[in-house]
């Protein structure tokens, strides 16, 4: 296989001394809109998976009988089609822990090992970041918003996706009830409804000494 000395993997399990999940296969960059490239990536990843199983069996104690469990129906593309929105979160926004008036939530995890939020804080995710530029009756969420590549390493994850998804659904309901577009709703009304749904709009400050 020719694994390099720097080879590593992330793993987790629900049971002691048992490896049930391994996150170590990657392919790209890749055009997520090209079916030929997606097929090529699918074939490469599945072939690498079989090689990895064989590597585990031969080189890691306790993994002699390991096997590939039921795999996903297709590989996941982290970034493909996205919608240009009124505001695009940036690397600086995330690292500096920037807060916004039209904030719909906050997050602190950037999925890049060498980049963290300043002072172990959290950055804000704003309503303008889920409002498309040219389409009136549409809201974006999760992977479909348009931050820069560093900010995307944060917003693509589960918690930010829940934040943008909850805000998009809530804003859509408010717009319908008020017979207006999502662009025209009151941000204060949206924030109030999100709070009623136990959304955390801003970081909570506390004294770690106590």
Domain boundaries, the chain: 1-77, 91-196
Number of helices and strands in the chain (H, E): 5, 4
Please give the residue that has the higher pLDDT: either 58 or 13.
58
Whole-Å CA distances, 114 to 117, 123, 159? 10, 17, 20
The Cα–Cα gap between 69 and 59 comes to: 19
- Per-residue pLDDT at 148 exceeds 70: yes
- Per-residue pLDDT at 6 exceeds 50: no
Tens digit of each residue's pLDDT (9 = 90 or more) over 149-206: 999 999 999 999 999 999 999 999 999 999 999 999 999 999 999 999 999 999 887 6
| pLDDT in the model for residue 10 | 59
Q: From start to end of the chain, where are the E strands?
A: 10-12, 21-23, 103-107, 123-126
Average pLDDT, the chain: 85
Tokens of 64: 């002699």
Residue % of the chain over a pLDDT of 90: 50
| pLDDT in the model for residue 137 | 92
pTM for the structure as a whole? 0.78
Residues 74-101: what's their mean pLDDT? Answer: 89
- Per-residue pLDDT at 26 exceeds 60: yes
Tens digit of each residue's pLDDT (9 = 90 or more) over 90-101: 999 999 999 999
Residues 66-74: what's their mean pLDDT? Answer: 69
């Amino acid at each position: 296989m020719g694994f390099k000395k720097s080879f590593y993997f992330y793993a987790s399990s629900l049971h002691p001394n048992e490896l049930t999940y391994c996150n170590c296969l990657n392919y790209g960059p890749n055009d997520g809109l090209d079916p030929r490239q997606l097929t090529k990536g699918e074939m490469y990843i599945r072939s690498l998976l079989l090689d990895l199983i064989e590597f585990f069996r031969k080189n890691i104690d306790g993994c002699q009988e390991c096997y590939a469990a039921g795999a996903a129906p297709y590989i996941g593309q982290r970034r493909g089609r996205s919608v240009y929105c009124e505001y695009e979160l940036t690397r600086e926004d995330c690292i500096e822990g920037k807060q916004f008036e039209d904030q719909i939530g906050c997050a602190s995890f950037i999925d890049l090992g060498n980049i963290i939020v300043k002072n172990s804080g959290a950055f804000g995710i704003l309503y303008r970041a889920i409002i498309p530029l040219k389409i009136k009756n549409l809201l974006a969420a999760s992977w479909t918003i348009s931050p820069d590549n560093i900010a995307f390493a944060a917003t693509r994850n589960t918690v930010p996706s829940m934040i943008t998804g909850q805000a998009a659904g809530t804003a859509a309901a408010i717009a319908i009830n008020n017979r207006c577009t999502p662009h025209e709703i009151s941000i204060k009304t949206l924030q109030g409804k999100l709070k009623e749904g136990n959304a955390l709009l801003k970081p909570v400050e506390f004294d770690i000494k106590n």
